[in-house]
């Protein structure tokens, strides 16, 4: 009887141990499956984030490119304007010199020559400067 109850006990203990092992194996498999799913979800999230960051990077690079092009255009326009300012300053200086020269009296003894000379110079010499175009190009650089 003792042997039969010991056998039964050991046999019942083995069945119980087998069931525990099976439950543990099932639990471990389920845990591993959940771990793989979490890992896959994390990988998917990282891939989505990578895609978004690449899109953002492309937008920023495009914006930088447009801003750089705008800067280059503004610099070219500034160079043209600097050249025009320089040309206009020279013209103004020349006109002021002519004006100062014309203010000097002509001393030949008659008032008629003075009036005629002033009118002639004021009306004829200044036309040459008024009709000349201001020439400047984007190739000109003034620093």
Query: What confidence score (pLDDT) does residue 111 get?
Result: 52
Length of the chain: 143
Q: Would 143 be classed as within a structural domain?
A: no
CB atoms < 10 A from the CB of 120, how many?
12
Burial class (CB in 10 A: 0-12, 13-18, 19+), 95: middle
Taking the C-alpha atoms of residue 78 and residue 86, their distance in angstroms, rounded to an integer, is 12
Q: Would 108 be classed as within a structural domain?
A: yes
Q: Would 136 be classed as within a structural domain?
A: no
Q: Would 85 be classed as within a structural domain?
A: yes
Total tally of structural domains belonging to the chain = 1
Q: Would 140 be classed as within a structural domain?
A: no
Q: Would 142 be classed as within a structural domain?
A: no
Taking the C-alpha atoms of residue 90 and residue 142, their distance in angstroms, rounded to an integer, is 15
| pLDDT for 143 beyond 50 | no
Query: What confidence score (pLDDT) does residue 4 get?
Result: 47
Domain extent for 21: 2-130
Tell the residue number behind the tokens 């471990």, with chain if given. Answer: 28
Tell the residue number behind the tokens 């000097």, with chain if given. Answer: 104
Q: Would 100 be classed as within a structural domain?
A: yes
End-to-end CA distance of the chain: 115
Query: What confidence score (pLDDT) does residue 44 get?
Result: 98
- Measured CA distances, 38 to 25, 45, 49 (Å): 20, 10, 16
Query: What confidence score (pLDDT) does residue 38 get?
Result: 98
Lowest mean pLDDT among 8-12, 52-56, 82-86, 97-101: 8-12
Q: Would 141 be classed as within a structural domain?
A: no
């Amino acid at each position: 009887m003792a042997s039969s109850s010991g056998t039964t006990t050991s046999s019942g203990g083995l069945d119980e141990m087998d069931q525990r092992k099976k439950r543990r194996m099932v639990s471990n498999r389920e845990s591993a499956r959940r771990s793989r799913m979490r890992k896959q979800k994390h990988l998917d999230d990282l891939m989505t984030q990578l895609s978004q960051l690449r899109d953002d990077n492309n937008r920023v690079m495009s914006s930088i490119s447009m801003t750089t092009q705008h800067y280059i255009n503004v610099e070219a326009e500034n160079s043209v304007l600097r050249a025009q300012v320089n040309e206009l300053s020279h013209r103004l200086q020349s006109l002021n010199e002519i004006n100062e020269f014309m203010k000097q009296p002509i001393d030949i003894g008659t008032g008629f020559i003075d009036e005629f000379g002033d009118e002639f110079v004021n009306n004829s010499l200044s036309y040459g400067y008024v009709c000349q175009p201001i020439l400047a190009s984007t190739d000109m650089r003034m620093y």
